[in-house]
């Protein structure tokens, strides 16, 4: 409900359906009379908002509100059904503008919520919605397919309030001394309030009104700002239902622009009394509207970058995990942060022309497009090198040469591990070489252990040292490869996940390849949280019994 302030004593009260003694302000007869006289045309005879009867000084009656003067010897009684009269909050010039939807006790004032909900459309006595028609040119601009596509692409419709938009709207309300401020997004049927300062409406369904009853339609129709000092008398806005339904007396707003220039809605302030907007007010509003449009552009850019990052990252990974004869394969890849940066982790599993299978996993230092270029170079050089060379160490040397030729600089180095598998009657013969990478883990019937194959980082110098490890994988023996995003993941106190946890989780996991990969990924999340600080790549290869 709206709040009344006595011009003499500055005491406050909420109009309510029931008020106990002691909660009413001390108001003069003239002040109460002016309020009720102004309220009567707004709510009188309206079944939705109650009725106002004549008032006199004959004492209280059932269902009435009593105002008394300071001395307490004059009483004015008004038979008013106060429920849902929030729309009368601007009825009198002496009625101070409503700023926050709170009662003196600090509780939300429910009438504000009802006002915002009822503003979604007028209804006749049978409860049927009554819609106003849009002006022809306004309708054309509001329903323009290009504009509507931009609105949909913004992703702002039917979303929760967010601090960046609320902060700008609140700044507008405070700076311009206005009780209400909005950031709106308008589709073909409604004006959705992304931010609504001064209105107690939290759920998206309550933060909207019909486009025909909003002032945003005029901004979109003009494709420019709208500055109105007296909404009831201005020919552009006179007759708009929000003048009575929401108490709009003055309105000033600028288009909320999409990055491509379309008017998505408006950034506006509303006053509940007639006022003259100063040039300074308009300039402040123009600046804040541009800031709000900048926030929209940032979100669009982030979405584009995120899409690009995901597309590039997917291009650097196998589209599907291939089926390898005699081997059970599991894989997990988790991008760092919010997934809007392209990082350098990759894995690959591919067959050579001679029937050998190759498992590669690597980490390129850095992020962004430069890292993506080196990642792509590394992945496809390993594939090409495995055709030319059989020994994994020889293939890694070819990669080192390619990286040096690419001239990525000393800060652009790569760590990698490459394992080749030769099927045999007695199992899988494994040869593994590592270039400064995280040690591989071998799980057998006898336990788990690290496979140490010391080697030099790639892409820094021509003279490198690489070694190889050769062994046979019996049925159910499992090789686990991962990037440093696993072992270097830190918890809140800075403790790394580490190699020991890597061994412990691997030992305790189920035997299937994907189960091991999932268990390891889940353990990292439990340790460091759901947002990865670095890319996490895990590749698990388990030897199957003959015939499977």
Q: Answer yes or no: are the C-beta atoms of 277 and 199 closer than 8 Å.
A: no
The half-sphere exposure of 521 on its side-chain side, counting CA atoms within 13 A, is 22
More confident call, 64 vs 188: 188
| Residue 103 lies inside a defined structural domain of this protein | no
Tell me, yes or no, whether 303 and 331 share the same domain: no
Element (H, E) at 395: helix 392-406
Count CA atoms within 13 Å of residue 361 on its CB side: 24
Last residue of a domain, one of 31, 64, 96: 96
State the CATH number of the domain containing residue 233.
3.30.450.40
Per residue in 13-33, pLDDT (tens digit) is: 333 222 223 333 333 444 444
At residue 401, does pLDDT exceed 50?
yes
Q: How far apart are CA 93 and CA 58, in angstroms?
A: 27
Domain membership of residue 109 (yes or no) is no
In this prediction, residue 7 carries a pLDDT of 35
Q: What is the mean pLDDT of residues 445-460?
A: 92
- Given this model, what pLDDT does residue 400 score? 92
pLDDT at 303: 63
434 and 320 co-located in one domain: yes
- Kindly give the pairing relationship between strand 190-197 and strand 208-210: antiparallel
Give helix 369-388 / helix 279-315 axis angle, nearest 10°.
10
**Rounded-to-integer distance, Cα 427 and Cα 44, Å:** 91
If asked whether residues 327 and 348 sit together in one domain, one would say: yes
Containing structural domain, residue 68: 3-96
Phi, psi of 239 (to 5 degrees): 95, -5
- Residue 262 sits in the same domain as residue 399: no
DSSP annotation of 438? P
Tell me, what CATH number does 376's domain have?
A: 3.60.40.10
Residue 386, classed as helix, strand or coil, is helix
244 and 374 fall within a common domain? no
Shared domain check, 415 and 439: yes
Mean pLDDT over residues 494-512, rounded? Answer: 94
Instruction: Please give the Cα distance from 532 to 355 (Å, whole number).
Output: 36
Give domain status of residue 104, yes or no.
no
**Residue 102 covered by a domain:** no
**Burial call 507-546: b when 16+ CB within 10 Å, e when fewer:** eebeeebbebbbbbbebbeebbeeebebbbbbbbbbbbee
Task: Please state the rounded mean pLDDT for residues 442-467.
Answer: 93
Pick the range with the lowest mean pLDDT from 36-45, 212-221, 226-235, 237-246: 36-45
> Average per-residue pLDDT in the chain?
75
Which of 265, 281, 307 represents a domain boundary (last residue)?
A: 307
Q: Judge whether residue 249 has pLDDT over 60.
A: yes
Distance, CA of 168 to CA of 465 (rounded, Å): 58
452 and 394 both lie in a single domain: yes
At residue 93, the 3 state secondary structure works out as coil
Domain assignment present for residue 107? The answer is no
Q: Are residues 275 and 323 in the same domain?
A: no
User: pLDDT-based confidence at 319, cuts 50/70/90?
Assistant: low
pLDDT score of 298: 76
Would 101 be classed as within a structural domain?
A: no
What pLDDT sits at residue 427?
72
Query: Angle at the Cα of 346 (from 383 to 415), degrees rounded to 5?
Result: 85
Position 540 confidence tier, pLDDT thresholds 50, 70, 90: very high
Q: Where are the beta strands (DSSP E) in 352-466?
A: 357-364, 414-424, 427-435, 440-444, 447-451
Q: Are 329 and 513 in contact (CB under 8 A)?
A: yes
Q: 6 vs 251, which has greater pLDDT?
A: 251
Instruction: Please indicate, yes or no, if residue 367 is contained in any of the structural domains.
Output: yes
Write down which residue in 290, 307, 324 finishes a domain. 307
Strands (E), 217-273: 226-228, 250-257, 263-271
pLDDT for position 324: 85
Question: 392-406 and 369-388 are packed helices; what angle lies between their axes, rounded to 10 degrees?
Answer: 140
Q: Are residues 450 and 395 in the same domain?
A: yes
Phi, psi of 19, deg, nearest 5: -130, 125
Element (H, E) at 183: strand 180-186
Query: What is the maximum span of the chain, computed from C-alpha positions, in angstroms?
Result: 110
Q: How many CA atoms lie within 13 A of 142 on its CB side?
A: 25
> Do residues 32 and 89 share a domain?
yes
Q: Please tell me the total count of domains within the chain.
A: 3
At residue 50 the predicted structure's pLDDT band, cuts being 50, 70 and 90, is: very low
DSSP secondary structure letter of residue 108: B
Band (pLDDT 50/70/90 cuts) for residue 316 is low
The mean-pLDDT minimum among 116-120, 459-463, 518-522 falls in 116-120
pLDDT (0 to 100) of residue 125: 46
Q: What is the percentage of the chain residues whose pLDDT exceeds 70?
A: 68
Question: Is residue 233 located within the same domain as residue 347?
Answer: no
Sign of the torsion formed by the C-alpha atoms of 40, 179, 232 and 121: negative
- Tell me: do 56 and 73 sit in the same domain: yes
Condensed to tens digits (0 to 9), the pLDDT of residues 150-182 reads 999 999 999 999 888 998 999 999 999 999 999
Residues 59-106 pLDDT 10s:
333 333 333 333 333 333 332 322 223 333 333 333 222 233 332 233
First CA to last CA distance, the chain: 74
Q: Please check whether residue 134 lies inside any domain of the structure.
A: yes
The set of residues, in sequence order, having a beta carbon less than 8 Å from that of 69 and lying 6+ positions away, is: 26, 27, 28, 29
Measured in whole angstroms, the distance separating CA 461 from the mean position of its chain's CA atoms is: 45
How many alpha carbons fall within 13 Å on the CB side of residue 355?
7
State yes or no: pLDDT of 257 exceeds 90. Answer: yes
């Amino acid at each position: 409900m709206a709040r009344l302030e006595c011009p003499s004593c500055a005491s406050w009260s909420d109009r309510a359906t029931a008020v106990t003694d002691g909660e009413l302000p001390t108001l003069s007869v003239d002040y109460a009379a002016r309020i009720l006289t102004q309220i009567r045309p707004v709510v009188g005879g309206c079944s939705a908002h109650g009725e106002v009867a004549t008032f006199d000084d004959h004492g209280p009656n059932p269902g009435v509100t009593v105002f008394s003067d300071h001395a307490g010897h004059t009483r004015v009684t008004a038979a008013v059904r106060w429920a849902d009269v929030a729309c009368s909050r601007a009825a009198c010039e002496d009625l101070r503008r409503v700023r926050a939807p709170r009662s003196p006790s600090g509780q939300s004032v429910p009438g504000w919520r009802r006002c915002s909900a009822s503003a979604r459309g007028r209804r006749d006595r049978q409860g049927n919605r009554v819609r106003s028609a849009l002006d022809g040119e306004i309708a054309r601009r509001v329903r323009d397919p290009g504009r509507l596509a931009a609105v949909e692409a913004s992703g702002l419709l039917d979303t929760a309030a967010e601090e960046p938009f609320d902060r700008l709207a609140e700044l507008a309300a405070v700076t311009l001394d206005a009780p209400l401020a909005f950031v709106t997004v308008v589709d073909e049927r409604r004006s959705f309030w992304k931010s609504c300062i001064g209105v107690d409406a939290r759920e998206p369904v309550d933060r909207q009104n019909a486009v025909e009853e909003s002032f945003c339609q005029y901004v979109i129709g003009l494709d420019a700002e709208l500055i109105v000092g007296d909404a009831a008398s201005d020919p552009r806005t006179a007759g708009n239902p929000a003048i009575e339904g929401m108490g709009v007396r003055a309105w000033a707003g600028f288009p909320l622009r999409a990055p491509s220039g379309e008017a998505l809605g408006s950034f506006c302030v509303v006053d509940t009394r007639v006022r003259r907007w100063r040039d300074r007010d308009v300039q402040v509003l123009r600046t804040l509207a541009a800031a709000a449009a900048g926030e929209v552009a940032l979100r669009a850019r982030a979405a584009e970058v995120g899409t690009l990052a995901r597309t590039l990252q997917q291009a650097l990974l196998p589209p599907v995990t291939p089926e390898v004869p005699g081997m059970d394969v599991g894989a997990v890849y988790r991008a760092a942060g919010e997934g809007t940066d392209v990082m350098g982790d990759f894995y690959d599993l591919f067959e050579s022309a001679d029937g050998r299978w190759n498992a590669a996993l690597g980490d390129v230092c850095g992020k962004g497009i430069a890292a993506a270029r080196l990642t792509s170079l590394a992945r496809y050089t390993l594939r090409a090198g495995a055709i030319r060379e059989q020994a994994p160490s020889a293939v890694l040397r070819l990669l080192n040469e390619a990286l040096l030729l690419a001239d990525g600089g000393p800060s652009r180095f790569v760590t990698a591990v490459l394992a080749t598998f030769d099927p045999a009657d007695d199992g899988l013969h494994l040869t593994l070489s590592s270039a400064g990478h995280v040690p591989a883990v071998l799980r057998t019937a006898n336990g788990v252990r690290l496979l140490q194959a010391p080697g030099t980082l790639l892409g820094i110098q021509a003279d490198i040292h690489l070694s190889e490890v050769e062994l046979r994988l019996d049925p159910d023996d499992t090789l686990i490869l991962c990037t440093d995003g696993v072992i270097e993941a830190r918890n809140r106190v800075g403790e790394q996940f580490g190699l020991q946890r890597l061994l412990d989780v691997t030992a305790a996991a189920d035997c299937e390849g994907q189960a091991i990969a999932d268990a390891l990924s889940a353990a990292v999340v439990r340790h460091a949280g759901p947002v990865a600080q670095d890319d996490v790549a895990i590749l698990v290869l388990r030897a199957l019994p003959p015939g499977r």
